[in-house]
Structure 1
Amino acid sequence: MLRSISILIVSLCLLVSFVQPYDVEQLPSPQCGNSKNPHWDQNTRSLYYVDVVASKSYLLRYDYDENRVYQATIDNATTLVFMLPIEGAPNHFLVGIDLKAVTVFWDGRSPKAVVNSTSVFEIDEDSSHRINVVKTDRFGRFYGGSSTMKSCATVTVETAAFYKYTKSTGLIKNFGDVLRSNGLTWNRSSNKFYYADSCDYNVVEFDWDPDTGNLTNGTEIFSLAEYDTKPGSVIDGITGDLDGNIYMAIYGDNQIIKLNPTTREVLLKIDMPMNQSVGVEFGGPNLDILFVTTRYIDGKQPNGSGHLFKITGLKTTGHAGVKVDLS
């Protein structure tokens, strides 16, 4: 009898140890070719993101309360690469079109958005490049990186760069020698900044100066080559939680990695139902939902590819997105 009870207890312990501490759920959303740059806006309880497809791009807004996605196009704008709500201007956004940033009006529901300005800034790079990843710091300063559109396996010349923009300083290059800018996030407590050039297959930690916004002392803290992923996988979007951990979407593998950047320990591997996770962002009313944008390329991906997902049960929270300050 005691032996049977012992076996039962061991079996239950093993079962509990294999139960995932999180839930992954596909949300009602359009299937996107390449959905990226998610930004959670706490005021509207919405996740803004874009579908970056050269033939027809969309601005998208996931409405948390309605549990649905609205989408819009912009006339004569083929490749939309990011959208950020503008501080002090409801329904107005800074939107990236290839290498240019313009201001746009969108009510969040209509199928058309309208450009208000010809250009806030434009990155002077090869026309084959585009802005690939953007975020704002806690003061609303714009940070963004460009990218070559060639695959990491074929590109060899580092001609892209990473930039900062404010109205007072204009566009400033933080650093060059970039192949494909992708993930970026901050640790607000330690004033650290994390950045991934996908084609370098690593994450670099910088010291971030809150007064100037400058980045210095870049040090590698994570190398994908030292972690068990599928061949050809790269680090895509990155976000952070209030505990100082970072979450990396691994494009080409069906996982999101939670990393303690101080100890450099992988704390959790989140299994996704497809291997094209692109962007990650905390949101929801309590900022405890990890949203994941994904990609759908050629019809060969599993069901769910290209749709929006949410991950719950992570027992942590993140930061809401900060509106971009253009004043």
Structure 2
Amino acid sequence: MSYKLETIPNGETLIGEGPHWDVATQSLYFVDIDNAVLLRYDYKQNKTYSARLEGENFASFIIPVEGENGKFAVGCDRRVAIVAWDGVSPSAKVARNAYEVQSGEEFALNRLNDGKADPRGRLFAGTMYNDQKDLFAARKGELYRFEKGKPVALIKSDIGISNGLTWNEKAGKFYFIDSCDYNVKEYDYDLETGVASNPKIVFKHASHLPDGMTIDTEGNIYIATFTGHTVYKVKPSTGEVLLEIKFPCKQITSVAFGGPNLDILYVTTSKLNDQPPPAGSTFKVTGLGAKGLPMTKVRI
């Protein structure tokens, strides 16, 4: 298979993360976590806009809010904030806080990491311990479900780095990555209740740290590796690696299908730890012969 890699204009980040393709605006939203910057790549204009999130230290994911034009759920420290941004202005503001988790002193160094809406618009997001010296030792992370009109539900605790999430609605499956476990777990997923059960490992790599994740229309998952120059296309039912998509930089953070036909794989990267260019660029991969599913806005 001959796929093609290109960078999008002005898509550079320190730690790019949380790509979300919004069908309504034909835009890719993503974040630069440690700089608390929100970005929007406009497909038609082939142009990227960015905004500093005022008064915040981190922005770990960005998801449009259903029914609220110009409003986004954004992970800020240990809060899910509702942010107002027109997608063009160079600054954005928190309009209100929707949820807070892990408010105790023992979690002072924790922050939210990856987050995504399930097919019904429930927000799933988890935390991680954010001290680089002790990143792998302290399993203080937790995964939560945030559902409109209901209290925050704890899905899983004892997490190192809560990371990639995706769903196969047809098969009733939920996929989740704790990067510190070096694997992808598949859960049975009840779409009516949002309950995940019966975890089993469907992909494991001895040395490449798995990060963000997405799924295509055939149920294959795409796994970004933070230490591996690679996005793996994996068939979860067998664990077979169907394709290795190679990049000219090491730290691949997350993936999302987008474009008018949902057949472009957008890939965020990081230049953390002084990685040389093109590290930190945001890529588009074409020619994969696969399509993604429309991503869901969040109901909050």
Bigger radius of gyration, 1 or 2?
Answer: 1
Tell me which of 178, 183, 199 is aligned to 2:159. Answer: 178
In 1: Cα distance, 2:128 partner to 2:120 partner = 25
What residue number does 2:138 align with? 157
What residue number does 2:298 align with? 324
Instruction: Report which stretch shifted further, 86-95 or 144-153.
Output: 144-153
8 Å contact from structure 1 (residues 152, 199) kept in 2: no
Question: 1:138 and 2:96 equivalent?
Answer: no
What is the deviation of 1:152? 9.0
In 1: Cα distance, 2:82 partner to 2:131 partner = 28
What is the deviation of 1:166? 1.0
What residue number does 1:123 align with? 101
Instruction: Report which stretch shifted further, 246-255 or 73-82.
Output: 73-82
Which one has the bigger strand percentage?
Answer: 2
Tell me which of 254, 257, 265 is aligned to 1:279. Answer: 254
Tell me which of 19, 38, 41 is aligned to 1:38. Answer: 19
Question: 1:60 and 2:60 equivalent?
Answer: no
What is the deviation of 1:29? 1.9
Moved runs in structure 1, 4+ residues, more than 6 A?
A: none
- Residue 202 to residue 287, structure 1, CA distance change in 2 (3 Å): same
8 Å contact from structure 1 (residues 257, 266) kept in 2: yes
What residue number does 1:306 align with? 280
What is the deviation of 1:74? 2.3
8 Å contact from structure 1 (residues 32, 51) kept in 2: yes
- Listed one character per residue, the Cα deviations across residues 246-275 of structure 1 (whole Å, up to 9, x for unaligned) are 000011111110000011111001111111
In 1: Cα distance, 2:11 partner to 2:274 partner = 15
What residue number does 2:221 align with? 246
Query: What aligned pairs does 1:37-116 form with structure 2 within 5 A after superposition?
Result: 37-53=18-34, 56-116=35-95
5+ unaligned residues in a row in structure 1: which ranges?
1-19, 226-230
Which letter maps to 1:294?
T
Aligned-residue CA RMSD in angstroms? Answer: 1.4
Instruction: Give the SS at the match of 1:37.
Output: strand
- Listed one character per residue, the Cα deviations across residues 124-183 of structure 1 (whole Å, up to 9, x for unaligned) are 150101111100011111001111124597632322110000122121101111010111
Instruction: Give the SS at the match of 2:152.
Output: strand
In 2: Cα distance, 1:184 partner to 1:222 partner = 14
Instruction: Give the SS at the match of 1:113.
Output: strand
Which letter maps to 1:177?
D
What is the deviation of 1:111? 0.6
Percent sequence identity is 39
- Residue 152 to residue 187, structure 1, CA distance change in 2 (3 Å): farther
Instruction: Give the SS at the match of 1:80.
Output: coil
Question: 1:194 and 2:175 equivalent?
Answer: yes
In 1: Cα distance, 2:246 partner to 2:256 partner = 16
What is the deviation of 1:288? 0.2
Question: 1:261 and 2:236 equivalent?
Answer: yes
Tell me which of 245, 269, 278 is aligned to 1:294. Answer: 269
5+ unaligned residues in a row in structure 2: which ranges?
none
In 1: Cα distance, 2:54 partner to 2:285 partner = 34
Task: State TM-score, norm by structure 1.
Answer: 0.88
